[in-house]
């Protein structure tokens, strides 16, 4: 008898709060730790995710994602570091706030313009597509991925076939839980079955 594989479900987790989350600075490759509140957010994820069996646990290589993953209850031997889950590379705009960038380039929009010395919208879109293709080919059942806000919005847009620019309409909070999956009645149709759900009570 052939065993039927469970359909893929991606539990996407944005990392907890950092100092630059609070300040609004663009945080791509800068390796910041979580704040104390960010650590508490990550601990709250452990309760929300308790009892769910995952066939794969992946994390962006960044400290903030790995710390969130660990505090959420996933130990290092079980975690695969996945470079494709890294945040958008902001290049020359790393560490700047949007208002500061607009002082130099008033019409700038990361979703259409990208960042000088960093990733273009086409580049980050291609990265999301590679990740999606890899997961669809290799994994079944529930997986969990600890990553970043901007990349999560890109991934959601590409999951349902939208251009990367539409990711700007998917707000995502620190330490939130989102689920990308397939519709049960239409097994080839990709859907966003949960988005930006808070594990916190505050």
Catalytic residue selected from 15, 17, 84, 148: 15
Rounded distance between C-alpha atoms, residue 191 and residue 119, angstroms = 26
What single-letter DSSP state applies at residue 141?
Answer: S
Token pair of 86 as six digits: 């890294």
Based on the residue annotation, tell me whether 15 is a catalytic residue of this protein: yes
Rounded distance between C-alpha atoms, residue 87 and residue 115, angstroms = 13
Catalytic residue selected from 17, 39, 84, 87: 87
Rounded distance between C-alpha atoms, residue 110 and residue 152, angstroms = 14
Alpha helices in the chain (DSSP H): 19-23, 36-49, 63-71, 98-104, 110-113, 121-138, 149-159
Q: Which residues are catalytic?
A: 15, 87
């Amino acid at each position: 008898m052939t065993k039927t594989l469970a359909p893929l479900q991606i539990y996407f987790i944005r990392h907890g709060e950092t100092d630059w989350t609070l300040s609004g600075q663009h945080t791509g490759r800068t390796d910041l730790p979580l704040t104390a509140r960010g650590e508490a957010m990550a601990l709250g994820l452990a309760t929300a995710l308790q009892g769910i069996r995952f066939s794969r646990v992946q994390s962006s290589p960044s400290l903030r994602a790995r710390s969130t993953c660990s505090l959420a209850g996933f130990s290092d031997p079980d975690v695969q570091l996945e470079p494709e889950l890294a945040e958008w590379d902001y290049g020359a705009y790393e560490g700047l706030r949007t208002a500061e960038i607009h002082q130099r380039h008033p019409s700038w929009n990361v979703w259409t313009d990208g960042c000088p010395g960093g990733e273009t919208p086409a580049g980050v879109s291609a990265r999301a597509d590679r990740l999606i293709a890899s997961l669809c080919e290799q994994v079944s059942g529930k997986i969990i991925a600890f990553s970043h806000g901007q990349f999560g919005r890109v991934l959601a847009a590409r999951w349902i076939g939208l251009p990367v620019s539409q990711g700007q309409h998917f707000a995502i909070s620190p330490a939130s839980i989102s689920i990308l999956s397939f519709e049960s009645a239409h097994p080839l149709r990709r859907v966003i079955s949960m988005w930006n759900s808070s594990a916190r009570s505050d």
